[in-house]
Amino acid sequence: MFDGLSEKLSGILDKLTRRGALTEEDVNAALREVRRALIEADVALEVVRSFTDKVRSRAVGAEVVKSVTPGQMVVKIVHDTLVETLGSDADPINLDAVPPVPILMVGLQGSGKTTSTAKIARRLQDRQGRKVLMASLDTRRPAAMEQLSVLGQQVGVATLPIVAGQNAVQIARRALEAARLGGFDVVMLDTAGRTTVDEALMTEVAEVKAQTQPHEVLLVADALTGQDAVNTARAFDGRVGVTGIVLTRVDGDGRGGAALSMRAVTGKPIKLVGTGEKMDALDEFHPARIANRILGM
C-alpha cells in the first residue's frame, strides 16, 4: 500500500519537470492521494484534515534535493510528520507517586482492558520489581472478576478477593485500602467496558476516578477501530482525564489509523501496545512502526 502511495505520488509529481522547490499546486495534487491513503488506514477524517494541512505547509516550497524525486520527497515529509504526531519518544508508565500508586484502566467493551491490566501488572512486577495488586471493578460482565483472577494466577500477581454485592466505587476503595495494608507499590483498577453515551456508567467511572485519584488513567483501545476512535478518545479524556493510551490487537493486520486519531485529538501518548492474547504480548510503542503501517509500508 505504501508502495502504492509512493508510486502514485511519484506518478503525479515526478512527471513534472524538476524545479527547485515544490509548488502549492504540486503538493495539492499529491495530498489528495495522501488523504485517500490515510482514510483507507482508518485515520479519522478531522485528523486527516489537520494532518494534510501540516504536511502542505511543510511541503510547499521545500527544496527537492538532487538525490530524491519530488514524489519521494513528499512521502518522506508525510512519514516524518506522522512519526512526529504519533509522539517521538517511548513514554513509560509513570509510577512516581506515593505508593500504592493507583492505575485506572478504562475503555469500550471488549477493547482489552482486563487482558492489558494483567499484562502490565506482570511487567511492572517482573521487570521493575514492583509489588502489584489487581482489582476488577467490573460488576456487570459475566465472569469478569473470575477472568482477572485467573489471569492473576497465571502471571503470579495478587488480585483483590471477590466480594459479592459491592459496587465499583466500593471495590475501588477496598482495593486501595488492601494495597495500603498489604504494602503494595501499585494497585491496578480494571473497570467494566462502557460506551461513552452510557451516562450512568460514565458517571460511575468518573466517581471511581474522583475517589481513587489514579496516577495514570489508561485508555485501552483496539487498533482495529475505525473513525469512532476520535469520539471514544475525546469522551473518555473529557470525563476522566486520560494520561495515556494502550493500543491493543496490534498483532492484527489493521492499518492502525486509530493510533494517530486518538493521539492527535487528545495529545496523550500511546504508552504500550498489545500484540497478542498471551500475557507477555505487550510492547513499547514505536511511532515509526505505526507510521509505516498507516502508510502500508
Partner 1 sequence: FTKRKLDQDTLDGLEDVLVQADLGIDVATRIVEAVGRNRVGKDIAPEEVKAILAREVERALVPVATPLVLDEARKPFVILMVGVNGAGKTTTIGKLAAKFRADGRSVMLAAGDTFRAAAIDQLRVWGERAGAPVVTRPQGSDAASLAYDALTQARQEGRDVLLIDTAGRLQNRNELMAELEKVVRVIRKVDASAPHAVLLVLDATVGQNAISQVEIFGKVAGITGLVMTKLDGTARGGILVALAARFGLPIHFIGVGEGVDDLEPFAAADFARAIAGLD
Ligand X SMILES: Nc1nc2c(ncn2[C@@H]2O[C@H](COP(=O)(O)OP(=O)(O)OP(=O)(O)O)[C@@H](O)[C@H]2O)c(=O)[nH]1
Q: How far is the CB of 190 from Mg ion (least distance, A)?
A: 6
Q: How far is the CB of 61 from K ion (least distance, A)?
A: 41
Q: How many chain residues touch Mg ion (CB under 5 A)?
A: 2
Closest CA to 137 of 99, 158, 111, 166: 166
Distance (Å, whole) CA 130 – CA 210: 24
Element (H, E) at 245: strand 244-248
Q: Per CB under 8 A, does 204 bind partner 1?
A: no
Distance (Å, whole) CA 91 – CA 245: 10
Q: Per CB under 8 A, does 283 bind partner 1?
A: no
By beta-carbon proximity to K ion, the closer residue of 204 and 222 is 222
Candidates 32-40, 62-70, 96-104, 211-219 — which segment interacts with partner 1 by CB under 8 A? 32-40
Q: Per CB under 5 A, does 114 bind Mg ion?
A: yes
By beta-carbon proximity to Mg ion, the closer residue of 116 and 266 is 116
By beta-carbon proximity to ligand X, the closer residue of 120 and 265 is 120
| Total length of the chain | 297
Q: How far is the CB of 22 from Mg ion (least distance, A)?
A: 49
Q: Which three cell numbers stand for residue 262?
A: 486518538
Distance (Å, whole) CA 102 – CA 165: 23
Q: Which does 39 bind (CB under 5 to 8 A by kind): partner 1, Mg ion, ligand X, none?
A: partner 1
Helix (H, G, I), strand (E, B) or coil at 241: coil
Distance (Å, whole) CA 232 – CA 69: 39
Torsion of CA 47, 109, 148, 143, to 10 degrees: -170
Q: Per CB under 5 A, does 222 bind K ion?
A: yes
Q: Per CB under 8 A, does 40 bind partner 1?
A: yes
- Judged on CB neighbours under 10 Å (0-12, 13-18, 19+), 231 is middle
- Which of 28, 88, 109, 167 is close enough to bind partner 1 by CB under 8 A? 109
Q: How far is the CB of 258 from ligand X (least distance, A)?
A: 13
Distance (Å, whole) CA 284 – CA 271: 7
By beta-carbon proximity to partner 1, the closer residue of 40 and 283 is 40
Closest CA to 271 of 291, 248, 244: 244
By beta-carbon proximity to K ion, the closer residue of 64 and 108 is 108
Distance (Å, whole) CA 263 – CA 270: 7
Q: Which does 275 bind (CB under 5 to 8 A by kind): ligand X, K ion, partner 1, none?
A: ligand X
Candidates 110-118, 180-188, 260-268, 278-286 — which segment interacts with Mg ion by CB under 5 A? 110-118
By beta-carbon proximity to K ion, the closer residue of 105 and 132 is 105
Q: Which does 157 bind (CB under 5 to 8 A by kind): Mg ion, K ion, ligand X, none?
A: none
Q: Which does 196 bind (CB under 5 to 8 A by kind): Mg ion, K ion, partner 1, none?
A: partner 1
In the chain, the N- to C-terminal Cα span, in Å, equals 7
Closest CA to 118 of 257, 289, 274, 264: 274
Bridge partners, residue 186, by sequence? 101, 132
Q: Per CB under 8 A, does 231 bind partner 1?
A: yes
Candidates 120-128, 173-181, 182-190, 219-227 — which segment interacts with partner 1 by CB under 8 A? 219-227
Which residues form the interface with K ion (CB under 5 A)? 222
